[in-house]
């Protein structure tokens, strides 16, 4: 049986990075979108990434960022994977010669197969709920919008938490799950170590 990979996104504190690593996260996401409450600067991200051990993937999340800003992050940080949440084209995503994830804001009328065909170089597609702004809304979308047999690796996001992640895995069978607000305290960007543990336990239980 496939082991569902786990990404904890939007970390802003060293203790949260350490908690995610200790709990068994496969990937950790850092948000470089200045309008997000989870935004970190290159300097902050560098300090946080110093606590990420080998074999835990570091992911940089960008939204309609200037190429100069992305290149600056790539020059300064050990980012292993890029994640694009804005209106970036295939060419704009692929220009950095780094593996990337393409986020899809899911709602009725989105043809996921057609969308994926526009990004043949994407390593995976991260499905999130359509909300005002870009991501981090903590909303669950209608999982039935995902077509049966969707071929590219699928990362399920959007409103996941310890209470619904097992059902999500059983219904969608994603390659990975991504969580941010579902493991936070009342303050966006501040993670809860107990919630991280519960979320990862929920994933492992669903995997059997």
Whether residue 197 has pLDDT greater than 70: yes
Whether residue 136 has pLDDT greater than 60: no
Position 133 scores a pLDDT of 62
At 140-195, the pLDDT tens digits run 999 999 998 898 999 999 999 999 999 999 999 999 999 999 999 999 999 999 99
Mean pLDDT along residues 55-84: 98
- Is 9 among the catalytic positions? yes
Q: Which of 9, 16, 93, 178 is catalytic?
A: 9
- Is 128 among the catalytic positions? yes
Mean pLDDT computed over every residue of the chain: 94
Burial tier of 154 (Cβ tally within 10 Å: 0-12, 13-18, 19+): buried
Position 139 scores a pLDDT of 84
Q: Which of 16, 128, 161, 178 is catalytic?
A: 128
Whether residue 135 has pLDDT greater than 60: no
Position 32 scores a pLDDT of 97
Mean pLDDT along residues 58-86: 97
**Which percentage of the chain shows pLDDT scores above 90?**
90
Position 2 scores a pLDDT of 82
Mean pLDDT along residues 20-49: 97
Mean pLDDT along residues 50-57: 98
Position 86 scores a pLDDT of 94
pLDDT band at residue 1 using 50, 70 and 90 as cut-offs: low
């Amino acid at each position: 049986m496939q082991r569902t990979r786990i990404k904890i996104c939007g970390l802003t504190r060293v203790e949260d990075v350490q908690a995610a690593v200790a709990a068994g996260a496969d990937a950790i996401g850092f948000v470089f979108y200045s309008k997000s409450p989870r935004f970190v600067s290159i300097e902050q991200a560098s300090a946080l990434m110093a606590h990420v051990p080998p074999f835990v993937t570091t992911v940089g999340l960008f939204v309609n960022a200037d190429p100069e800003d992305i290149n600056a992050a790539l020059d300064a940080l050990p980012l292993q994977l890029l994640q694009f949440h804005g209106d970036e084209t295939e060419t704009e995503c692929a220009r950095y010669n780094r593996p990337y994830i393409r986020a899809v804001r899911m709602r009725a009328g989105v043809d996921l197969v057609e969308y994926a065909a526009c990004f043949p170089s994407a390593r995976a597609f991260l499905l999130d709920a359509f909300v005002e702004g870009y991501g981090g809304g903590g909303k669950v979308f209608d999982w039935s919008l995902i077509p049966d047999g969707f071929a590219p690796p699928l990362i399920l996001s959007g409103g996941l938490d310890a209470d619904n992640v097992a059902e999500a895995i059983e219904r969608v069978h994603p390659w990975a799950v991504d969580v941010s607000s579902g493991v936070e305290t009342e303050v966006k960007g501040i993670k809860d170590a107990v919630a991280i543990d519960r979320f990862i336990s929920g994933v492992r239980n669903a995997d059997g």
